Amino acid sequence: MKIVSTVKELQHALPLEQTIGFVPTMGYLHEGHMSLVENARCENDFVVMSIFVNPTQFGPNEDLDRYPRDFERDEKLAREAGVDLLFYPTTETMYPLDMARVTVRHGADVLCGASRPGHFDGVLTIVSKLFNLVRPTRAYFGLKDAQQVALIEGYVRDYFVPVEIRRCPIVREETGLAKSSRNVYLTDEEKEEASQIYKALTVAKASLEAGDDPKKVKQQLTDRLDEIPNSQIDYVEVVDYPTLGVVSNDSTELLLAVAVQFERARLIDNVIWKKG
C-alpha cells in the first residue's frame, strides 16, 4: 500500500487503465469501513481510500476538534484490508482557498440536515473535490447515513459525474448497535442502552410490513426511543427513499431514520423498507 498526501503525488500514483474503487472516510476505521473496502476490492482492479476529517461539514458547536483520530492504527487496518493507495491530505491541500462550495437544496433540510444546517453542503463539497481528484469508477458508501447516500446519488445524477455509487449495508455490533467512529464516546452503560435503537427500528419496520400507517409507526417508534435512559431524541422520521420527501401512495421504499443524542455522542441509525 502506498500513502500519499499531496495532489501531485495522488495523480502520479493513480493507475491509468484500471478500474478504481474509492472509499472516502474520516478515519478512525472500523468494521463498517472494512466492509466498504471488501466490496471495492471485489469489484475493481485498484482500491483507493481517503482519510480526511472534513471541517466544512462540522457546525460551530460540533465535535471537529475532538473527532477521534489515530492514523497509525488506520494505516495498519487499511493495509490489512487490501487498500492499494491511501490518500491522507491536509486541510490546506483540500481547501487552499475559501472558494465557493456546493449548495444542496432538495433533501438537505430534513433529518440530519434540519438540525445540522450546512452539513451536507460540506459533505458534497468534499465529495466533489475527492471525486475530481481520484476519478473513481465506483465509490462506496455505507447506508448508516442513508440521507448522505441519497444526496450523493442525486449529486452524481444531476451533475453527470461519471462514477457509480455503491450502497453498502450497515455493519452492526452483536447487540445491533450500528458501527460508528463516534461509538468510542459512549460509556459501557450507554452502549447497552444504545442497542435499543435498532431493536425499536426493527419493531417499526415489522409494523410497516403488517400494513400499519406510517404516521402511527412513527409515533410508536418515538415512544420506544423515549424509553431509552440517558438519551434525548433529535429526530424520528419516516420518509420516501431516496427522495427524502413525504410518504405517498406511490412510495416504493420508506426510510425509517432516527438520531439520538447521548451525553457525548449523537447516534444515527435507520432501516429501509421496500414495499412488496
Which positions are catalytic? 33
What pairs with residue 232 in β-bridges?
261
H-helix or E-strand spanning residue 274:
strand 266-274
φ, ψ dihedrals at 117, nearest 5°: -60, 135
Residue the block writes with cell 478515519? 27
CA distances from 249 to 39, 82, 85, 149, 245 (A): 34, 44, 46, 23, 12
Instruction: State the CB neighbour count (10 A cutoff) for residue 173.
Output: 16
Distance CA 50, CA 86 (A): 6
Residue the block writes with cell 442525486? 154
H-helix or E-strand spanning residue 259:
strand 253-261
Question: b or e along 225-264 (b: 16 or more beta carbons within 10 Å of the residue's beta carbon)?
Answer: beebeebeebebbbbbbbbbeebeeebeebbbbbbbebee
**Residues 6+ away with beta carbon under 8 Å from 227:** 196
